Structure 1
């Protein structure tokens, strides 16, 4: 099986050679590496051109003008000569055995129906220098076809195009990447792909996702807006059907659907639905979401009572700690606020809301920020 690789290139002169080196070091050799230059102003294309002289498997493709990452990926989809493509960003790297293990899993999955359309792995997050960040492992899960779309709607665990082994025909059949979405366009693409065929998961952190100042998702507000834009593509009824098709309990599916209602700003509807959450294992989530409802309505006393109740039962609920700290800050209890923010950051390194709020408290400049969703076990890093 021959594999192509597609890399959109834009202002990545600090990282592109390291990315190419990690691809050249694959134990299962790539047949071709297509680097699509999106007309940046740095030396990225020059470096790739020089690299290709030493490694003919690398080919530089130049876009006629700057058109964005989606257009660059689509160009690679069309020009690749093989059915299976390894997608990469120009600043990430991969483990030497990534491709070998992905192909092994793909061959084992030949009988799965519908046919697999991609293979993705777990991740490790690194800093700008490529050093692995502590507690940064980020894992996905193997899901049956009929549960994948709904699960990705609730929480996308494919956090980067890098390391995604993709069926070219399936990608082209769904129209490739949409060029009118400029942030989280890969997440929107993944949602459409999830309805086309099966996803295969490699439970090894073989993709190294680099976090640095130029990372497009470093702007949390834009990322949040992009997530909302993706949800707006689908109707509430469509989303509800997909969420409840998953093989979880009725209460788990209902709770996850309520979190999506909140993302649609349908707080009153979601709050009313929380009355149906009665099982003990979901009560902490219920209290948290009820508190979010009151925060949105600026009913600070009601929110505080719920957060106090939650924290008394779960001392390590990071989002509750952050939100209660904000309410302490609003009431003038700076000492209590600082203690809760510091505890939240200690529990969840990289917790941006708590980190930024602590900076606002110390400087007196800026606005405090509530967290509206419960935290993942390991957070995506934005610094």
Structure 2
């Protein structure tokens, strides 16, 4: 099985050699590496040209003008000569055995229906110098075809294009990446692809997802808009059908659907679903989502009661610590709020809402942030 690699290149002179080295060092041989120059202003192109002289497997493709990462990925997919294409960003790296494990796992699933359309791994996040960030490992899970679309709607577990091994024909069939979709275009592409075939998962954190100053501003903007922008593509009925199709308990699917209804601003409808939750396993989520409902209805005393009940059961619940802190701060109880924000950060390093609120406590005109969803086990890092 021959593999192509596609890398969109834009102002990545500091990192592109590391990225290419990690590909050249793969224990499974790569047939071609297509680097698509998106007309940046630094020395990236010259670096790749020099690199390709030493490693002929690397080919530079030049865009006529700057068109963005999605267009560059589409150009690479169109020109790739193999049926399977590994996507990479120009600032990330991968473990030497990633591709070998992906191909091995893919071969195990080749007889399944519908046929596999991608193989995705677990991830670990690094700083700009490639140092692994504490508690930054991010894993997915192997799901059936029927469960994948709904699970991705609830929470996208494919956090970067890097390390995503795509079936080229399936990617082209759905039109590739949308070049005119500027908010979380990667997640939007993944959702469409999930309806074409099976997603195969490799449970090894073998993609090193780099966080640095250039990516932070872009990622923060996307993070604040992504969920709603993607959900706007699908109807509530379509979302409901996909979520409840998953092979989870009715209570789990209900909780996840309520979370999505809140993103649609359907708070009354979402709150009505919570009344059916009697399973103790989801008691904490019920309290949390009830608290969010009361915040939206400006019934802050009821919201405070919900978060206090939750924390009496699970004192380390980060989003509840943050939200209760905000409610106390709004009532002038800044000392108690300070303790809660610090505890939230201690429990969840990289928790941006709590860090922001801790700073805002010192402001004469604070602008606090509630956290509207329960936190991931390990947070995505934006700084």
TM-score range, shorter chain: over 0.9
In the TM superposition, 1:92-107 aligns within 5 A as: 92-107=92-107
Q: Which residue of 2 aligns with 1:116?
A: 116
- Matched residue of 2:204: which SS? strand
| CA distance in structure 2 between the partners assigned to 1:30 and 1:365 by the alignment | 56
List structure 1 segments (4+ residues) > 3 angstroms apart after TM superposition: 216-222, 362-366
Q: Deviations over 1:101-149 (max 9, x none)?
A: 1001111111111110110100011011100001111000000111000
Aligned match of 1:133: 133
What's 1:354 paired with? 354
Maintained 8 Å contact 1:183/1:217 = no
Specify the SS of the correspondent of 2:110: coil
Aligned residues: 383
Counterpart residue number, 1:267: 267
**Secondary structure at 2:160's aligned position in 1?**
coil
Distance 2:214 2:6 in 1: 20
Q: Which residue of 1 aligns with 2:240?
A: 240
- Report the CA distance between 1:15 and its aligned residue: 0.9
User: Structure 1: any 5+ residue segments left out of the alignment?
Assistant: none
Aligned to 2:159: 159
Q: What is the CA deviation profile of residues 303-351 of structure 1, one whole-angstrom value per residue up to 9, with x for unaligned ones?
A: 1111111111110100000000111111111110110011000000011
SS in 2 for 1:209: strand
Alpha carbons 2:52, 2:58 under 8 Å: kept: yes
Using the size of structure 1 for normalisation, the TM-score is: 0.98
SS of structure 2 residue aligned to 1:66: coil
Confirm whether residue 27 of structure 1 aligns to residue 14 of structure 2. no
1:134-170: CA deviations, max 9, x gaps? 1111000000111000111011100000000100000
For the pair 1:231 / 2:231, whether they are aligned, the reply is: yes
Question: Which residue of structure 2 lines up, in the alignment, with residue 203 of structure 1?
Answer: 203
User: What is the match of residue 182 of structure 2?
Assistant: 182
What's the offset of the Cα at 1:298? 2.0
Deviates more, 1:21-30 or 1:291-300: 291-300
**Counterpart Cα distance in 2 of 1:186 and 1:130:** 23
The question of whether the paired residues in 2 share the 8 Å contact of 1:24 and 1:30 is answered with yes
Deviations 1:161-206 (A, max 9, x none): 0000100000000110011112310100000100000011000000
Q: Is the 8 A contact 2:13 2:42 kept in 1?
A: yes
TM-score computed with the length of structure 2 as normaliser: 0.98
Q: 1:62-77 residue pairs with structure 2 within 5 A?
A: 62-77=62-77
Contact 2:184–2:222 under 8 Å retained in 1 = no
Q: How far 1:224 sits from its partner (Å)? A: 2.8
- Superposition CA RMSD, Å: 1.2
1:273 is displaced (CA, Å) by 1.3
Deviation larger for 251-260 or 296-305: 296-305
Alignment of 1:339 with 2:339, yes or no, is: yes
Counterpart of 1:312? 312
